[in-house]
Amino acid sequence: MQRNLAAIEPYDVFVVFRGEGKHADLKHEASLVPIQPVVHLEFAPNFRASAIGCERQEELQHRCWQALQSQEAARQARYTWVVRLRPDLLILKALPALVQLEAMSPRPSILLPPFSEFYFDPADCMKFQGKSREEYDADYRQCSADQLHLSHHLMSDQFAIMPRSLAKAYLDREAPKWTYPVPNRPKTPPTSGAHLELWESCVLDKEYNYKIGPGFLGGCECSLSVAVRQMQNVSTMVAPFHVALYRGKGNVHMGGSFPKRALKWAFQEGE
C-alpha cells in the first residue's frame, strides 16, 4: 500500500476505527497500521442514537475532520490535499503526483473512482492491456463520460482525493436520514424530512440496464452524494483510481472488475 502512495509523500495518516481497540496502548495500535506515519488514532465506540451504518460512517469522518483541524493548529500549517480511504481498501494502482492531480481538476473538485463493477460502469479507463507495472501505474487516461452511468447519479464512498478547501464539505457533512433507508430500495418517496426535492438524484433511471433494476437506491453513496453534490453544490470528477475492497484470504470484492495483472502484483508484494 505504501508503495502506491509514494507520489503524494510526505503525508500524515489519521485513523478512526469503529469499536474498541485490542490494546490499551494507542501507540502500539498505530504501529500496526500499514501506512505510516500515523499522527492520530482513535477508537470511536459511541455513536449517535441511530444504528444505521451510513450515519456511523458520517460520525467517524466527523471525528477525523476534527483531528485533522487539531493537527493543523498544532503544526501551524494547513494541509494541501486530503485523501479519504476505507481501512479495508487496496490501492492497486499507484496514485499520481500532486501536480497531476491538479491537472485533472482545473476547477477545485473532489476526485472519485468510478463505479467500476461490470453491472454499473464498465469503463475503458478501468481496463489495462499493457504488461508492465510501470505502464499500469502511469495509465491515468480520462474516463469517457458516455461510459459513466451510476457515477453520474452517485458518489463512490470508498475513496476520494480532494483539495483541502473541500475537505469540510466531505468530512463534516450530514445527510438527511431518508438517504440511507433500511432496506435501501424503498418504492415510494418519503413524506417528511429535509431536502425531499433531492430524492430524484438517487433514482436510477430506465435508460441504462443496471442489472439491479431502476428505482431509488439508498445507502451511503446516496447520502454522500446528496450531502456533498446536491446540498453543498461541490464539484466532483471521476478519475481512474483502481481501488478495491479486500475481503480477506486473498478475496477482492468484484475482483473481476480489475485487471488480473494488478491483483497479482498486489498480492505478490503484499501491497
Q: What is the mean pLDDT of each run of 10 residues along the chain (271 residues)?
A: 92 88 77 93 71 83 97 97 93 95 92 89 92 96 92 93 98 95 90 95 89 91 97 96 92 91 84 51
Structural domain including 62 reads 2-266
Has residue 271 been placed in a domain? Answer: no
The partner residues of 162 in beta bridges, in order of sequence, read 82
Cβ contact 122:254 at 8 Å: no
Provide the Cα torsion 150, 151, 154, 156; round to 10°: 120
Residue among 271, 264, 269, 267 at smallest CA distance from 249: 267
Peptide bond into 45 cis (omega under 30): no
Q: Please state the φ and ψ torsions of residue 168, each to the nearest 5 degrees.
A: -65, -45
pLDDT at 47: 59
Has residue 48 been placed in a domain? Answer: yes
Residue among 254, 203, 243 at smallest CA distance from 225: 203
* Domain count of the fold of the chain: 1
Peptide bond into 189 cis (omega under 30): no
Residue among 240, 116, 234, 229 at smallest CA distance from 179: 229
Has residue 111 been placed in a domain? Answer: yes
Q: Using a cut of 0.85, tell me whether the model's pTM lies above it.
A: yes
Has residue 190 been placed in a domain? Answer: yes
All three cell numbers of 30, joined, read 498505530
All three cell numbers of 222, joined, read 446516496
Cα separation, 46 vs 20, in Å, equals 10
Has residue 260 been placed in a domain? Answer: yes
Has residue 45 been placed in a domain? Answer: yes
Computed on alpha carbons and rounded to an integer, the radius of gyration of the chain in Å comes to 19
DSSP symbols for 137-158 = HH--PPPPGGG-SHHHH---SS
Question: Any long-range contacts for 127-133 (C-beta under 8 Å, 24+ apart)?
Answer: 127/259, 128/259, 128/261, 128/262, 131/261, 133/261, 133/265
Residue among 125, 225, 121 at smallest CA distance from 169: 225
